[in-house]
């Protein structure tokens, strides 16, 4: 039971980090387009 909860937390953290990274890359791309 504890292991399943732990794995779920790891998965949620991974998804959150990936989503934040994608948002960051999209923002950077928009900023780069504004600059150039």
Please give the DSSP secondary-structure letter assigned to residue 24: H
| Whole-structure pTM value | 0.62
| pLDDT at residue 1, rounded to an integer | 65
| pLDDT at residue 34, rounded to an integer | 86
Handedness of CA 21, 27, 28, 30 (dihedral sign): positive
- CB neighbour burial string for 11-36, b if at least 16 within 10 angstroms, e if fewer: eeeeeeeeeeeeeeeeeeeeeeeeee
CA distance 23 to 19: 6
Q: pLDDT tens across 1-36, in order? A: 689 999 999 999 999 999 999 999 999 999 998 877
| pLDDT at residue 5, rounded to an integer | 93
| pLDDT at residue 13, rounded to an integer | 96
């Amino acid at each position: 039971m504890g292991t399943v909860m732990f794995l779920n937390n790891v998965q949620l953290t991974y998804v959150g980090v990936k989503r934040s990274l994608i948002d960051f890359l999209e923002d950077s791309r928009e900023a780069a387009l504004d600059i150039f």
